[in-house]
Amino acid sequence: MADDPTASLSFEDALKELETIVRTLEQGAAPLDQSIDLYQRGDALKRHCEARLKAAQARIEQISLGPDGQPTGTRPFDDD
- Ranges of each domain in the chain: 11-62
Give percent of the chain with pLDDT exceeding 70.
Answer: 86
Residue 46 has pLDDT above 70, yes or no: yes
pLDDT tens digits, one per residue of 21-38 = 999 999 998 999 999 999
CA 2 centroid distance within chain: 17
Mean pLDDT across the chain: 86
pLDDT score for 60: 76
pLDDT at 4: 73
